[in-house]
Structure 1
Amino acid sequence: MVDQQWSGVRQRVVALRAQPSSGKVFGSLGHRWVLEDPLTDDGLAELEAQIGVRLPDGYRSFLTRVGAGGAGPAYGLFPVRRVRGRWRWEGDGAELADLAMLARPFPEHGPDPEDLDALLAVRPEEEDFEEIEDFDDAIEAWDERWEALMYAPERTAGAIVISHLGCAQREWLVISGPHRGSIWSDCRADDADLVPLLDQDGKPVTFARWYNDWLREAELTAHQPATNA
């Protein structure tokens, strides 16, 4: 049943690549509609043995039925590759995920709200300083504290970065813990916390839902008739 949800998906992506108007799809100039070769069963087993956890069913079957990465939401699905005998995900920000912590449960919550509120309450404001140089020094020191709190590796244990939306905004796939299999949005570059992607019913978006929704929207965009200016 899980494998059936990917039936024909690779062929649909290939067909989109041949569409003259497929360049209208956001991010397509990044992935160019190219899919990596699927992983072999042995490759998948080796990957999971290395990270110490079984990947969510929808994602693991995608890797073996569709491809190990490439064409996908935004600028593409980060590929997982074997480099010098070790598996890793590659892409803009993929290194934010600590591969040694993937078997640990993804945190139930973000940073302690009291810690976060306290830090936001003391964020320097330019009007509080007579000299712009003093403000620059203060905001730089504050940014360091913010990044230490928000980008602590423990906050994204049990998850991998799978896509880049531009402007340092990314999406994560949780592979361990109660949120396993769901996609989370990362806008920490805009001083916002990680949040789960939710559907219209308020339910967490799974990897399969995330990818298939994108593919349907891409097909609609690519097949829209040209409009006269």
Structure 2
Amino acid sequence: MGDSVWVGVRERVQALGGVGAGDRVFGGLGHKFFLEDPLTAAQLADLEACMGVTLPEEYRGFLRHVGAGGAGPSYGVFPVRLVQGRWRWEGDGADLADLSRLAEPFPREGADPEAVRELLAEQPEEEDFEEIEDFDDAMEAWDERWETVMWSSDRTVGAIVISHIGCAARQWLVISGPERGRIWSDNRVDDEDLSPLLDEHGEPVTFAGWFLTWLHEAERQSASVSAGD
């Protein structure tokens, strides 16, 4: 899939803002269908040199021809910006990504399912404690164990947080490894493991599919509401 997939996409997004689709599309009131300026070829080269990786092709095309971030699925695509001489992605949870390890393969195997099940079974229950202070101490100790299993930065090397979908749930774009270019869901806040985002046919969703599916649906929602006005 070449850069041609992005032809006219920036204009389509901006058109949604022009017709006031913000209150019809989830997240639209937040990003207002605004897009950052696209990166120049020199800026993209500098970004990749600083990160020590070549970004996935579909995402590179988006950055060059659509924008460096802004409007998109859920609350939008996290923008990448040059701040005080250093490139970084900005957004709710963007700092979860270790930008110094983007060249390492993303570990798609996730957490050990058996370890997760055992740990969840051992989660303290308040009714098992006579004193609330004892329960709080037990929960604090359990949380430390849980974070070691589920929230270790080793589990998300080779990926960046690309979007926030609400209530501390996020989506990642894999930069390196066998899952390169694909979107992964992160709902660990609800005790669910990282998992690949799949389409209606059970196929992995790539960056372009993720963004363009959102755009098509946003246009459909805007048109259907307008037709009913």
TM-score by length of 1: 0.95
Partners of 2:150 and 2:216 in 1: CA distance: 34
Q: Give 2:47's aligned residue.
A: 47
Aligned-CA RMSD value: 1.4
Partners of 1:142 and 1:31 in 2: CA distance: 38
**What secondary structure is seen at the aligned counterpart in 1 of 2:76?**
coil
Partners of 2:217 and 2:143 in 1: CA distance: 37
In the TM superposition, residue 136 of structure 1 has moved relative to its aligned partner by: 2.4
Give the partner amino acid of 1:181.
G
Partners of 2:164 and 2:108 in 1: CA distance: 23
**What fraction of aligned residue pairs are identical, expressed as a percent?**
64
Unaligned 5+ segments in structure 1 are: none
Give the partner amino acid of 2:152.
A
Q: Give 2:58's aligned residue.
A: 58
In the TM superposition, residue 223 of structure 1 has moved relative to its aligned partner by: 1.6
1:101 aligns with 2:88: no
Q: Give 2:171's aligned residue.
A: 171
Contact 2:26 2:74 in 1 (8 A): yes
In the TM superposition, residue 138 of structure 1 has moved relative to its aligned partner by: 1.4
Q: Give 2:90's aligned residue.
A: 90
Q: Give 1:137's aligned residue.
A: 137
Unaligned 5+ segments in structure 2 are: none
In the TM superposition, residue 50 of structure 1 has moved relative to its aligned partner by: 1.1
Partners of 2:116 and 2:20 in 1: CA distance: 48
**What secondary structure is seen at the aligned counterpart in 2 of 1:173?**
strand
**What secondary structure is seen at the aligned counterpart in 2 of 1:225?**
helix
Contact 1:22 1:221 in 2 (8 A): no
Contact 2:79 2:89 in 1 (8 A): yes
Contact 1:23 1:222 in 2 (8 A): no
Partners of 1:9 and 1:66 in 2: CA distance: 6
**What secondary structure is seen at the aligned counterpart in 2 of 1:87?**
strand
CA deviation vs aligned residue, 1:184-210 (integer Å, no higher than 9, x gap): 000011111100001122110000000
